[in-house]
């Protein structure tokens, strides 16, 4: 059986279930307790688990991320919520230089089972300093795992897997889509980290994306179908490790690939996917791999410029017609 849940409620269920299952799991971050979370993801958790396990922190990302890393090294399983990953830049020293390296620099003597989570990417008119997309930044660091999705069922299963993982996991959500609803199974289940999902099967072109860019990608696939172009849509879900094999198998069938990525084009997730496909499926390609990215600039404030900056269904359709040679 399944119910329809909003993304915020699916995340809440994941954390609550894991905290009931394992007393070493706790949540900390700005406004997660008394205010029920900046986006109400932790609503009701303070009442159930109390202030020792749902902890409001000062506005000091570097400080409370460091507390989380130390707690993880000493046998606890912290969930550290950032109000936005833009603010987590202040905590990158702890994430990149400590959490990611704990296992290797201790020669395997210490693990760091910690989850860093919060929204990544643009969220409307929040301008340059609050709209960056961090998946590729974090996925570049050995020792970190990175997951990114908006499907409520996947988000719940991935977060539960992340909490149980002995490595540090960065979970990227979407500020715009905490209210996005989907079918979530009842009962216990996990979604494995490192496995992509085929959201729509097709034969003419493979579309690859993740997080909220899945919505314009699926919209584009629907519109393309009306014109007789069959698009297969793959949701990466996991950025590191990256499931290139699922993409390869799809490209062997469709012979064309368009990657949709909200981040900037240079050295982003789309660039890595393009590299993987030219390495492992070059002989199957009938057209160059094409990418649809955000504009190579900081996000403007004006709504008209936001529309120009962001990938959308029209830009995806245009890219598909270029690789399928349809005018």
Phi, psi of 80 (to 5 degrees): -105, 115
pLDDT tens across 216-234, in order? 999 999 999 999 999 999 9
pLDDT of residue 319: 97
Phi, psi of 242 (to 5 degrees): -100, 130
Write the DSSP string, 192-216.
-TT--EEEE--SSEEEEE-GGGHHH
pLDDT level of residue 250 (50, 70, 90 thresholds):
very high
pLDDT level of residue 307 (50, 70, 90 thresholds):
confident
Here the contacts of 213-221 (C-beta below 8 Å, separation 24 or greater) are 213/260, 213/261, 213/262, 213/311, 214/150, 214/151, 215/150, 216/260, 216/311, 216/312, 216/313, 216/316, 217/260, 217/313, 217/316, 219/313, 220/313, 220/316, 220/317, 220/320
pLDDT of residue 298: 86
Calculate the alpha carbon distances from 110 to 22, 148, 240 in Å.
20, 26, 21
pLDDT tens across 162-216, in order? 999 999 999 999 999 999 999 999 999 999 999 999 999 999 999 999 999 999 9
pLDDT tens across 9-33, in order? 999 999 999 999 999 999 999 999 9
pLDDT of residue 135: 96
Active-site position among 18, 81, 130, 135: 130
Rounded Cα distance, 307 and 122, in Å? 11
pLDDT tens across 71-111, in order? 999 999 999 999 999 999 999 999 999 999 999 999 999 99
Same fold across 2-185 and 197-323 = yes
Which residues have CB under 8 Å from 161's CB, separation 6+?
A: 190, 191, 192, 193
- For Cα atoms 251, 142, 121, give the angle at the middle one, nearest 5 degrees: 65
pLDDT level of residue 327 (50, 70, 90 thresholds):
low
Instruction: Report the percentage of the chain scoring pLDDT > 70.
Output: 98
Q: Is residue 81 a contact partner of residue 118, using CB atoms and an 8 Å limit?
A: yes
Does the structure show a pLDDT above 80 at 130? Answer: no
Q: Is 244 a catalytic residue?
A: no
3-state class of 321 per DSSP?
helix
Q: Tokens 């529309």 sit at which residue? A: 307
Q: Is 61 a catalytic residue?
A: yes
Region 197-323: CATH code: 3.40.50.920
Q: Is residue 273 a contact partner of residue 247, using CB atoms and an 8 Å limit?
A: yes
Q: Tokens 């296992």 sit at which residue? A: 103
Domain chopping of the chain, boundaries: 2-185, 197-323
Superfamily of domain 2-185 in CATH is: Thiamin diphosphate (ThDP)-binding fold, Pyr/PP domains (3.40.50.970)
274-294 mean pLDDT:
96
244-256 mean pLDDT:
98
Active-site position among 61, 175, 232, 262: 61
pLDDT of residue 237: 97
């Amino acid at each position: 059986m399944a119910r329809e849940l909003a993304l915020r409620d699916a995340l809440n269920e994941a954390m609550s279930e894991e905290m009931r299952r394992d007393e070493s799991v706790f949540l900390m971050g700005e406004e997660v307790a008394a205010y029920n979370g900046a986006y109400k993801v932790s609503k009701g958790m303070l009442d159930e688990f109390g202030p020792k396990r749902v902890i409001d922190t000062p506005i000091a990302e570097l400080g409370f991320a460091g507390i989380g890393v130390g707690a993880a090294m000493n046998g606890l399983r912290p969930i550290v919520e950032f109000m936005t990953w833009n603010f987590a830049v202040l905590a990158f020293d702890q994430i990149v230089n400590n959490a990611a390296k704990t296992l290797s620099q201790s020669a395997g003597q210490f693990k760091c089972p910690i989850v860093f989570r919060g929204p990544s990417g643009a969220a409307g008119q929040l301008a340059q300093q609050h709209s960056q997309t961090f998946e590729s930044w974090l996925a570049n660091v050995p020792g970190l795992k990175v997951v990114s999705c908006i499907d409520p069922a996947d988000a719940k299963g991935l977060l539960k897997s992340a909490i149980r993982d002995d490595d540090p996991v960065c979970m990227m959500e979407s500020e715009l889509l905490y209210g996005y609803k989907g079918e979530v199974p009842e009962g216990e289940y996990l979604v494995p980290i490192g496995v992509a999902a085929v959201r729509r099967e097709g034969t003419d072109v493979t579309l690859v994306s993740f997080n909220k860019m899945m919505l314009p990608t699926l919209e584009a696939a629907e519109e393309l179908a009306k014109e007789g172009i069959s698009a297969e849509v793959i949701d990466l879900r996991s950025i590191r490790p990256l499931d290139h094999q699922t993409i390869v198998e799809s490209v062997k069938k469709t012979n064309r690939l368009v990657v949709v990525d909200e981040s900037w084009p240079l050295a982003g997730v789309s660039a890595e996917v393009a590299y993987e496909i030219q390495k492992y499926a070059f002989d199957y390609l009938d057209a160059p791999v094409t990418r649809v990215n955000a504009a190579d600039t900081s996000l403007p404030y004006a709504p008209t410029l936001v529309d120009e900056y962001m990938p959308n269904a029209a830009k995806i359709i245009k890219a598909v017609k270029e690789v399928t040679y349809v005018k």
